[in-house]
Structure 1
Amino acid sequence: MKKIIGALLVALSVFAAPYKIGQSVMPLDLKDQFDKHIVLKSMPKTLVMAFEKGTSATVNDCLGKQNGTYLTEHKAAYIADISPMPSFIAEAFALPKMRKYPYTVLLIRDEEIGLKFPAQEGKITILRMEGNMIKSIEYVATADELKTAIEK
């Protein structure tokens, strides 16, 4: 019995580990800030990911200065993990603010999905993709660093 429990714990810890370079990212089935269902079957070249309010503000500082097609032109997508946010706060404050953005924000609302992606406190995660495989992982902290990373 102990061996079975131990094997299950190891399997669960591996399952919960964040994606690493060389791993394939499963198609993402998310909604945007307008509640529009979007499925990323094939990943864009660059995934920009924010996991905290401060990093989301930095992303907006960068993307808010660009035109509405900036992410598409650079084969990028922006994903914000709002799963830790209480749904009342998301619905009453965060989403109405996001609906004013000139770009699409894909939203992670399920904590289990958010935990699959690598993150560093106070940093924006940049995943470079080749097909659905992670080619590299970078972390940036400023709007200028983010712009440079998107335009690589």
Structure 2
Amino acid sequence: MTLRHALTTCLLCLPLFGHAQGMGQPMAPWTLLDQFDQPYTFNADTHVLLVARSMAAARLVDAALKDQPGGYLEARHAAYVADIEHMPAMVAKVFAIPAMRSAKYRIMLDPQGRVASRYEGDRDTVQWLRVDAGRLAEARTFADAASLRAALEQAPAGQTVAAP
């Protein structure tokens, strides 16, 4: 195979791979089901997107939200996506998703990793994406529940989140 053919093949395959969301770029809408099989569509009304790619990151979100009332994230125009792509389907169906139903907040489940993969981030931290007018305005990561809780507290109900 010539270099020209190899480059052409690589360029043709690029759309198959996920791309990272860049600052200031519009964030494409998506729809996922939550732990109750109810659809949620990400749109311009969402101001904060939390992404957890592992059980460790999901535990951080749970610890940050454990004492909050139902509707806490929604009041802050925030959504939470859990990437469960690497969880065995039987474990998710029989154990994990039923356990998630006890949470007082919605968890959008990403079983194929098609949404979480759009946003760069470490597997063991929670990614915080601030959205302004449908565009990515800020990306932060949290490695502990207390910091994540404090950041969520800075997001008054009904308002967007300001940078710290």
For normalisation by structure 1, the TM-score amounts to 0.90
Matches within 5 A, 1:73-84: 73-84=75-86
After alignment, is 16-25 or 52-61 more displaced?
A: 16-25
Once residues 36 and 79 of structure 1 are traced to their aligned partners in structure 2, the CA distance between those partners, rounded to angstroms, is 13
Q: Please, which of 8, 11, 22 is the counterpart of residue 7 of structure 1?
A: 11
Q: Would you say the 8 A contact 2:48–2:79 is kept in 1?
A: yes
SS at match of 2:87: coil
Q: Is the 8 A contact 1:20 1:118 kept in 2?
A: no
* Moved >3 Å (runs of 4+): none
> Which whole-Å CA distance do the structure 1 matches of 2:39 and 2:123 have between them?
28
Q: Percent identity?
A: 27
Which residue number in structure 1 is paired with residue 158 of structure 2? none
Q: How far apart are the structure 1 equivalents of 2:136 and 2:11?
A: 27
Q: TM-score, normalised by structure 2?
A: 0.84
RMSD, aligned CA: 1.7
Q: Does 1:97 align with 2:106?
A: no
Name stretches of at least 5 consecutive residues in structure 2 with no aligned partner: 155-164
Q: Which residue of 2 aligns with 1:48?
A: 50
Deviations 1:93-138 (Å, cap 9, x if unpaired)? 1101100001111111122332111111321000000122100100
Counterpart contact for 2:52–2:123, Cα < 8 Å? no
Report which of the two structures shows the higher radius of gyration computed on alpha carbons: 2
AA aligned opposite 1:12: P
